[in-house]
Amino acid sequence: MAPISSDMLHLIDHDEWFGVAAASLQVMCRIVTSPGSTGENLRNQIHGNTEVISSMERILHCKICRKHKLYILVIKILTKLPMDAAPGVGTKSRGKFIETMARIFTSDSETQDSSIRKLAGEALAMLSEKYATIFLKENGGVVDDLSRMLFKADHNTYRITAAETLKHLCMHYKENEDCFKELMKAMKDVTPKVLIQILPHGSTRKEVQARNETDKDKYQPPGADLEDGHDSCVSSQDNGPDEIISSLQEKDEESVDRKLHAALLSLCAAIFDRLISDKGHDLTPPVKAIVSEDAAFSFVGKLREMVEINREPTANCLMIMKIISKMVISMMQHGGWYVKKNLDRTGLTA
Answer yes or no: do 69 and 197 share one domain: no
Q: Percent of the chain, pLDDT > 90?
A: 11
Domain membership of residue 68 (yes or no) is: yes
Domain membership of residue 180 (yes or no) is: yes
Domain membership of residue 114 (yes or no) is: no
Q: How many CB atoms lie within 10 A of CB 290?
A: 20
Q: What are 36-87's pLDDT values in tens digits?
A: 888 888 888 887 788 888 888 888 888 787 777 788 888 888 888 776 544 4
Q: What are 241-250's pLDDT values in tens digits?
A: 555 444 444 4
Tell me the C-alpha distance between 300 and 290, whole Å.
Answer: 10
Answer yes or no: do 84 and 178 share one domain: no
Answer yes or no: do 180 and 51 share one domain: no
pLDDT at position 166 is: 95
Residue where a domain terminates, one of 63, 89, 115: 89
Tell me the C-alpha distance between 225 and 347, whole Å.
Answer: 36
Tell me the C-alpha distance between 180 and 186, whole Å.
Answer: 10
Answer yes or no: do 203 and 326 share one domain: yes
Answer yes or no: do 36 and 183 share one domain: no
Answer yes or no: do 194 and 308 share one domain: yes
Domain membership of residue 317 (yes or no) is: yes
CA distance to 97, 175, 185, 191, 271, per residue, from 280 (Å): 33, 9, 11, 17, 14
Tell me the C-alpha distance between 298 and 302, whole Å.
Answer: 6
pLDDT at position 209 is: 54
- Segment of 4-8, 244-248, 322-326, 335-339 carrying the highest mean pLDDT: 322-326
Domain membership of residue 122 (yes or no) is: no
Answer yes or no: do 200 and 298 share one domain: yes
Structurally, how many domains does the chain consist of? Answer: 2
Domain membership of residue 115 (yes or no) is: no
How buried is 47 (Cβ within 10 angstroms: 0-12 exposed, 13-18 middle, 19+ buried)? Answer: buried
Tell me the C-alpha distance between 127 and 124, whole Å.
Answer: 5
Which of 97-111, 218-232, 334-348 has the lowest average pLDDT?
218-232
Answer yes or no: do 79 and 183 share one domain: no
pLDDT band, very low/low/confident/very high, at 161 (cuts 50, 70, 90):
very high
Is 70 exceeded by the pLDDT of residue 345?
no
Answer yes or no: do 201 and 311 share one domain: yes
Answer yes or no: do 199 and 62 share one domain: no
Residue where a domain terminates, one of 29, 58, 89: 89
Residue where a domain terminates, one of 89, 120, 145: 89
Judge contact between 305 and 208, C-beta under 8 A. Answer: yes
Which DSSP string do the residues of 24-69 spell out, in sequence order?
Answer: HHHHHHHHHTS-HHHHHHHHHHHHT-HHHHHHHHHHHH-HHHHHTT
Domain membership of residue 54 (yes or no) is: yes
Tell me the C-alpha distance between 172 and 168, whole Å.
Answer: 7
pLDDT at position 20 is: 86
Answer yes or no: do 194 and 306 share one domain: yes
Answer yes or no: do 183 and 54 share one domain: no
Could you list the residue range(s) of the whole structural domain that residue 246 is in? 173-211+242-350
Is 70 exceeded by the pLDDT of residue 223?
no
Tell me the C-alpha distance between 314 and 254, whole Å.
Answer: 12
pLDDT at position 348 is: 54
Tell me the C-alpha distance between 235 and 157, whole Å.
Answer: 35
Tell me the C-alpha distance between 91 and 80, whole Å.
Answer: 16
Domain membership of residue 81 (yes or no) is: yes
